[in-house]
A and B are shown apart, each in its own frame.
Chain A
């Protein structure tokens, strides 16, 4: 079958690609587009390592067909820092050692960013349930939850 032509926007830049009808967004990101920051931990939407945003909503890119990106705004971990300037969440994760092996980190950061955009003052309960779709096997989540809450506090302070 002929490949599908898709026009989309990735991290604010126009992007075109060809894909098979059954190909996942994750495969296209990691393959032809070379955006390997999104990781495949399960391929079934259970681990969240492939989390991206589609029009600002978090999505497991392994569960999204690449063809569905047509006309949408896609955000990936590669678009989170502005040049050399890290997003406050990225900076806080480094300062508070909220990562060990780092494989879940891109997905966790994408999900956490999406949370803070919706809820600048999340409780621990809010953060734990928002991130429940992002598996981390190294940290026990403690430092991740703290880093997200501390970033939220910093960002609220900065916004004041």
Chain B
């Protein structure tokens, strides 16, 4: 854990400090209220009946026996959810309500094993579960397809008749392409061209808190407590799916037990809302872990083809990428992230990058930390490693030679402003990790080192904040973003910094949809970035008011007042001679000087700019057992400005750990009937503490010129390089390349058993 000194001047008092998060004590004492922790008088329980088939026409649903079961209060099916006709798209952000209404409750067909078919509300959770078994569903079982390559083949079972590709019914539901220069001419100039195909399996976000909600409806007005990455998203989607107007829905963000993108859509909330409306009772619904795995979004499995050409001196001249991503039951896989981010770290004059969004009989894809980008970077970073080897170049030097810099035109559109990618490579090259020799092979174990880089877009978007000065001079800041990893602490650091007051005098609250203006999702690495912008402007407006109040007290011109170190002072000798007025003193006189003091700001923020990272990974491979262990891992990331370095490091470490899991052990495994075979934390193998080493993180600060504090998004970039870094380290250890993930022990052993020539 090391933090490089800022590359910019930093005379801040609170920004950059490792303050204690405002919500911390509640979270270490068990007091923090997560969605499943809430109850209400008269509360009943909801449960979902799910399809056992990956693909089946729903011919009829008979709910009579379930309704007659003692304790059952209501049963709902798709007919209770607003239907969005298939021929007209209704978008909310990146989600189409046509798909959402069918994902929360199967309509014409069940499209994955686990697809909700009906839901029951009953006096206890047990009775609700029993009643689900009494619902009679007549299915016409259809052939299914899950794998992305299979789903693209002619003759594959087609999920949606209305999805057409090149005029014919198809599972290819969308395409995207980025073009730069002339890729064929570029390859013609190349001395070395390497082309490889890569495969990845679906992996789950793996948040420890299952989806949960509690919904109460009274006089037609709904209150929703739920675990989500955006209360405004919950409100809007529930309004769409139930027909209740937004002003009659209050969505309260409970503390959230992890999301990583997976809680940017809803599953239970509209069902609980309809059940609560029907029964007149508050309805609580909590998914089991099995349900989370079966029915909430993992990210895409993928099939990609990467081709990169370089000249003898290492100059990259052309790149081509084809990324086929498994969307699950409905369109929407992150092809933009895969095709857009894959080549973005490099200055390549000729690029053709295309993506295919492919539906298949698996739960609908949900966002997962830099959606699509790790898949894109995986193939590109492995091919980069092969090019470096072919040219006998150091892999970091190859990246440095071709690194995107200010002025580089990326294939997905932008011309980069000042970015810190070069710095991440330079820091990695001179870091002790890169210079430390690897252990010699010993006792059947071999060692290797890999490097990889990565890019993520980052996002701005809508945010709202309100900063209020209390009567005693303390401060309350309200924002609209669920705090998923310490963002309240960053907000408090910024507010305290600008006001020049003690951090402890600032309280930060997350407002529900009825108390703060619209704020887009906690996602896209946008929260600290966008919150900082609206909080900064709100606080600056508050300071303007404070100066006016001081001026009024002193009977001088507001222009003659300055705000310094938490006090109003006369701007100079000409302004008059007055003792400074503290925030508390001005607050105490607020009523007499014009009323309560506070200000809010609402913005659609822009200028997030991309984020870059370079990772180093050392592995040990047990040749007899096929077990790969990561021995050392160091991440180098340009974060613009670290408002709270501990939580920045936390993002870097958490992303690296998830990437190591994706590379080595995590995967959805389907049985021959198309049902997920490993829907538990025992069998879906996420890294545990004994699997990992310390995860060193080197923060590099090249301030974002478009942000008041220089912030760049931090949270997602860390998941982009690890798949390549781990793969390249294993190659370095074994001299064998793997072109599919995860590199789990059976696969490692199978690859080691192949004759070398077969590769």
Q: Which residues of A contact B (CB under 8 A)?
A: 30, 35-44, 46-47, 49, 76-78, 80-81, 86, 90, 93-97, 99-106, 109, 124, 127-129, 131-146
Contact = CB atoms under 8 A, between A and B. Distances in A.
B27 A105 contact: yes
A95 B17 CA distance: 11
9 contacts: A36-B34, A37-B31, A40-B286, A77-B30, A80-B29, A94-B25, A105-B27, A139-B650, A140-B654
A133 to B, nearest CB: 7
B692 A49 contact: no
Helix, strand, loop or mixed for chain B's interface? Answer: loop
Nearest to B482: A101
Interface of B: 1, 18, 20-21, 23-25, 27-34, 36-37, 205-210, 255-260, 286, 288-289, 484-486, 644, 646-647, 649-650, 653-658, 680-682, 686-692, 694-695
Nearest to B681: A46
A76 B29 CA distance: 10
Interface of chain A, main secondary structure: loop
A158 to B, nearest CB: 19
A36 B39 CA distance: 11
Nearest to A49: B208
Nearest to A102: B27
Given A42-B289, A81-B29, A103-B209, A145 B694 contact: yes
Contacts of A137: 205-208, 258, 260, 654, 657-658, 686
B30 A100 contact: no
A47 B650 contact: no
B646 A102 contact: no
Q: Which interface residue of B28, B206, B210 has the most chain A CB atoms within 10 A?
A: B28
Contacts of B260: 137
Q: Which of A138, A139, A145 has the most CB of B within 10 A?
A: A138
B36 A40 contact: yes
A47 to B, nearest CB: 5
Contacts of A44: 289, 680-682
A29 to B, nearest CB: 10
Contact of B257 (A37, A103, A131): A103
Nearest to B485: A100
A96 B258 CA distance: 19
A142 B647 CA distance: 12
A142 B485 contact: no
A94 B673 CA distance: 47
A101 B680 contact: no
A81 B25 CA distance: 10
A101 B255 CA distance: 8
Contact of B688 (A39, A94, A95, A133): A133
A99 B656 contact: no
A131 to B, nearest CB: 5
Nearest to B697: A142
Nearest to B37: A36
Contact of A90 (B28, B36, B205): B28
A143 B20 CA distance: 14
Contacts of B682: 44, 46
A146 B650 CA distance: 13
Contacts of A100: 258, 484-486, 647, 650, 654
Contacts of B206: 137
Contacts of A133: 688
A41 B227 CA distance: 13
Contact of A132 (B32, B286, B689): B689
A146 B257 CA distance: 22
A40 B688 contact: no
A128 B289 CA distance: 24
A36 B33 contact: yes
Quick one: which of A35, A46, A49, A127 has the most chain B CB within 10 A?
Answer: A46
Contacts of A105: 27-28
Residue among B30, B32, B682, B691 with most chain A CB within 10 A = B30
A141 B692 contact: yes
A38 B30 contact: yes
Given A135-B686, A139-B653, A141-B689, 12 more contacts: A30-B37, A44-B289, A46-B680, A94-B28, A97-B650, A100-B258, A100-B484, A100-B647, A103-B207, A106-B28, A140-B656, A141-B692
